[in-house]
A and B are shown apart, each in its own frame.
Chain A
C-alpha cells in the first residue's frame, strides 16, 4: 500500500485539477486558472516518484504489469503536455489532458497490483522497445487531446454563437499543427521501438504483432493522407482520436492475453 502512496497523491492532483475546471464550467463562465497546471505538475512529479520506486524495486523499467503500463503511459502523456503545452502556449490543453490521465490512473488503481515475478535476466532491447512504445503512445494520447480541442473549437466556430470557452481555446490551425507534430513524433518513436523489437527477437508473430502493425499502419496512413491533403483537418482530428481509442482498448487486451499465456 505504501508504494502506491505517490500514485494516490498523483491521482488526487489530477482529480483536483479536473474539479477546478468543472467548477469553473458549472458556474457558467470559464476562466483559465493557475491551479490546474500546478496540480498537474505535482501529479507528474508524484508519478515519476512512483515509477522510480517501481524501477528500483524491479531493477528494470517499471512496465511489467498492466497497472504499471497504464501509469507509465499516463506519465508520458503528462510529461508531453508539460513540454508541448508551454512550447506552443496551447492554453487549456491541461484542462483536456487532466481528465484523460485521471481516467487512466483510476483504471490502474482499480486493477489488482499483482506481484511481479522477478525474471533473472531482462533483455535490454525488449525493455527499450516496450518503454519507447509507451512514450510514443504518450505523444499519440496528447495528439488525441489536441484533436479533441480542435473539434470543440471548430464546432464553436461553426455554431456562429460560441460560448465563453471559445475565447480561451487556441486557434484551430495551431491545434492542427500541434496534432500533426505530435503524431509525427509518436510515429517516429514507435518506428524506432519496433526496430528495437526486431533486434531483440526477429521472429515475431501472433496477435500482438498483428495488432501492433495495425496501429502503426493506421497512424502511418493517417499522416500520409493528411500530408497529401486527402484528409480534411476535421477528419484528421477524428482519425487521431479513433486510432488512439482503438489502441487504448486493444493494448490491455493484448497484455491480458499475454498474461494468460504466461500462466
Chain B
C-alpha cells in the first residue's frame, strides 16, 4: 500500500481558478466518500483550504487513484485543471512540509496546522482513514510541533498589523485592559486596530477630522467617536495610539505629550504612526515609557522576521527528512508490516 498525495495549490493554480475548487462541507464529504470507494484506495484524507485542495490516500495503485481523483474533481467543479501528484517518500515529506507551514504562502504560518488537524478529524469521523494514514497524520502533528519548538520558523510577526500586535503584547502583556485611540479613519489604521481588537483590547476611540467618518468607523468596530479637537485631552487615558491622519506636519510633539504623561501614572504608551508624512515627532520615542513605531520600522521588523524564517528552512528540511526516514522504517518494519494494509 503506497501513500499518495494529489492536488493543487497557490503555486500551481491562480486564485481565479483555485476558487472553483473551494468546496462546501457537503461536497467535500461526497468527494471524500467517492474517492474512498474508488478501486485500490483503502484510506483517504481531503485537505481543502483557500490556498490548497489536496488528497492524501493510501492506495495499491497510486496512478489509477490519481486519475480517478482528477476526474472526480472535474465532475464536482466542472473545471479541468492539472494536478500535481507525489508518491512515497515525497508524499510524506510534502504533508510534513504543509503542516509545518513550510509550503504556505506566508512562510511559517500556523493556521495550516489546525486545518490539517481538522481534515484528519473529518476523515476519522467519516471512517475513511486507515492505520497507515492514522500513523502518518500522528507523525505529521509531531513533526510540525517539533519544528515549531526547535526552530524559529513561526517566530515573530510577518505583517504590519501583526507586528503591531506583537509589539503591543511585549509592552502590555495581556491586552485585555488596554485602550486604543485611532487618529484618522484610514484603511491601515482600521486593519491594525481590528487586529488589536481580536486580541481582546478593552476600548476603542476613533477620532477624525470629518466627525461623521469617525462615527461610522466607531459604529462598525464597536468603539466610540471623538471630535478631532478633543483627542489630545484623551491621551492620558489610552494605552495605544494609532495615528494615520493626512496632516502635512507633525500633530504630536514632545511638548504636547509631556503634560498627559504626568497624568498616566507611569503606564507605558505605545504609538503606531502609520502616516506619511509622519504624524508624530520622532523625539517622542526618547521619552520615558513611550514607544514609537512608524511605518518604516514596522515594515523593517516584518521583513526581518521573514528573513529569519527563511534562514530556518534548511533546519526544518533536515528535521523533516529525519522523520520521513523514521516513518518509512516503522512502516516497513516486520512488526508493522501488516498495518500497511
Chain B residue with minimal CB distance to A174? B173
Check if A162 is an interface residue, CB within 8 A of chain B. yes
B185 to chain A, nearest CB (A): 26
Whether B170 lies near A166 (C-beta < 8 A) is yes
> Which residues in A have their C-beta under 8 angstroms from that of B308?
29, 164
Q: How many residues of B contact A (CB 8 A)?
A: 25
Whether B266 lies near A233 (C-beta < 8 A) is yes
Whether B297 lies near A233 (C-beta < 8 A) is no
> Which residues in B have their C-beta under 8 angstroms from that of A161?
297, 300-301, 304
* 24 pairs of residues in contact across A and B, judged by CB atoms under 8 Å: A157-B167, A157-B171, A158-B285, A158-B291, A160-B285, A160-B292, A160-B297, A161-B301, A164-B308, A166-B170, A167-B155, A167-B156, A169-B170, A170-B173, A171-B170, A171-B171, A173-B268, A174-B173, A226-B266, A229-B266, A232-B266, A232-B289, A233-B268, A233-B288
Whether B289 lies near A233 (C-beta < 8 A) is yes
B311 to chain A, nearest CB (A): 8
Chain A residue with minimal CB distance to B291? A157
Give the distance in Å from the alpha carbon of A11 to the alpha carbon of B309 in the complex.
36
Check if A181 is an interface residue, CB within 8 A of chain B. no
Give the distance in Å from the alpha carbon of A195 to the alpha carbon of B265 in the complex.
34
Question: In the complex where A172-B170, A233-B289 touch, is A162 in contact with B268 (Cβ < 8 A)?
Answer: no
Check if A222 is an interface residue, CB within 8 A of chain B. no
Check if B172 is an interface residue, CB within 8 A of chain A. yes
Whether A29 lies near B152 (C-beta < 8 A) is yes
Check if A21 is an interface residue, CB within 8 A of chain B. no
Check if A47 is an interface residue, CB within 8 A of chain B. no
Chain B residue with minimal CB distance to A31? B152
Give the distance in Å from the alpha carbon of A169 to the alpha carbon of B167 in the complex.
12
Question: In the complex where A164-B308, A167-B155, A233-B266 touch, is A173 in contact with B171 (Cβ < 8 A)?
Answer: yes
> Which residues in A have their C-beta under 8 angstroms from that of B265?
229
Give the distance in Å from the alpha carbon of A139 to the alpha carbon of B266 in the complex.
24
Q: Using A161-B300, A167-B156, A234-B288 as known contacts, list a sample of 8 further A-B pairs with CB atoms less than 8 Å apart, ordered by residue number in A.
A: A157-B167, A157-B171, A158-B291, A160-B292, A160-B293, A161-B301, A171-B172, A233-B266
Chain A residue with minimal CB distance to B262? A229
Check if A153 is an interface residue, CB within 8 A of chain B. yes
A161 to chain B, nearest CB (A): 6
> Which residues in B have their C-beta under 8 angstroms from that of A235?
288
Whether A153 lies near B297 (C-beta < 8 A) is no
A88 to chain B, nearest CB (A): 10
Whether B152 lies near A153 (C-beta < 8 A) is no
Which residues from 217 to 263 on chain A have a C-beta closer than 8 Å to any C-beta of chain B? Answer: 226, 229, 231-235
Q: How many residues of A contact B (CB 8 A)?
A: 24
Give the distance in Å from the alpha carbon of A226 to the alpha carbon of B265 in the complex.
10
Give the distance in Å from the alpha carbon of A231 to the alpha carbon of B171 in the complex.
18
Check if B111 is an interface residue, CB within 8 A of chain A. no
Of A161, A171, A235, the most chain B CB neighbours within 10 A belong to A171
Chain B residue with minimal CB distance to A232? B288
Write out, one digit per residue, whether chain B residues 148-181 have a CB within 8 A of any chain A CB (1) or not (0). Answer: 0010100110000000001101111100000000
> Which residues in A have their C-beta under 8 angstroms from that of B172?
171, 173
> Which residues in A have their C-beta under 8 angstroms from that of B156?
167
B188 to chain A, nearest CB (A): 18
Which residues from 1 to 46 on chain A have a C-beta closer than 8 Å to any C-beta of chain B? Answer: 29, 31
> Which residues in B have their C-beta under 8 angstroms from that of A173?
171-173, 268
Of A173, A231, A234, the most chain B CB neighbours within 10 A belong to A173
Give the distance in Å from the alpha carbon of A169 to the alpha carbon of B304 in the complex.
18
> Which residues in A have their C-beta under 8 angstroms from that of B173?
170-171, 173-174
B97 to chain A, nearest CB (A): 21
A263 to chain B, nearest CB (A): 49
A220 to chain B, nearest CB (A): 19
> Which residues in A have their C-beta under 8 angstroms from that of B293?
160
Give the distance in Å from the alpha carbon of A158 to the alpha carbon of B156 in the complex.
17
Give the distance in Å from the alpha carbon of A29 to the alpha carbon of B291 in the complex.
24
